[in-house]
Amino acid sequence: MCYRPIYQTVGSDRRMGLLIDEDVRYAKPYLRKGLRHPLLCLSCEGFIQREYEDPFARYWMSGRCTSGYITTDEQRVQVYDYRTFKLFHLAVLWRAGVTAARFGCVNLWNEVKIKRHEPRLRDMLLRGDPGPPSAYAILGRITIHPSRPHVWSPKAISLPVSVSINRIPGYEVMFAGARWLWCCSSHVPNEILAHALSEDGTIPMTACSLFDEDIMDLYRANRHRLGRLSRCAL
């Protein structure tokens, strides 16, 4: 479910993810290839990887976009391209909304309910149409290491949790060195758009510590959903 260049950052030197159980400190159940659930044929998977996922890995995961923007003051971060950057995020949202992937008896993505939005999101991905910024707006904050405030921290990953953003339904998730907010609405009001990805390829972002209280709430929500198991890793 999580694109490989993202979950590889939380792996060991052997590029394997580590599932953390805070009560069983000696156990190390490595996940060699992430948690998977096949959704698309090879042709469509290749299309999404080539068009949306590879550019994200090449430009965002390399740190090119965030270099020089690690500050608590809001700055407009220039991403590589509005279209492919937004469609990458919509692809993750769509996958999370339609998958039935489970860990044991737990459906990891059961909070993501895109329902009536699913056909439109799928069509946008297939046609390569990101829509206007007001449709499924993307917001974000750069995550930094708590003891090194000028160091970008791309290794924290969380499951998405449902949130309300000025009464607009959405989802909060953390990966790739940022805390992302996805608005699950085809029309987002201007007060939210002022802080969202725009068509000029910029997104207003501030830096936040991984130990900020709102991020700790995200960790707690993940632990609540999985019992004692957490998919968050520092």
Output Rg (C-alpha) for the chain, integer angstroms: 17
DSSP H/E element including 42: helix 42-48
185-209 pLDDT tens trace: 999 999 999 999 999 999 998 888 7
- Cα–Cα–Cα angle for 64, 204, 141, rounded to 5 degrees: 75
Domain that holds residue 197: 4-230
At residue 190, the pLDDT reads: 93
pLDDT band at 165 (very low <50, low <70, confident <90, very high): confident
Mean pLDDT lowest for which of 30-39, 79-88, 103-112? 30-39
- Taking phi first (over 0 means left), then psi (-120 to 50 degrees means alpha), and beta for anything else, what does residue 201 get? left
- Tell me how many domains the chain contains: 1
Question: How many other C-beta atoms are found inside a 10 Å radius of the C-beta of residue 129?
Answer: 14
Whole-structure pTM value: 0.78
Q: DSSP of 111-165, one letter per residue? A: T---GGGHHHHHHHHHHT----TTSS-EEEEEEEETTEEEEE-TT-----EEEEE
Q: Which carries the bigger pLDDT value, residue 76 or residue 199?
A: 199
At residue 207, the pLDDT reads: 82
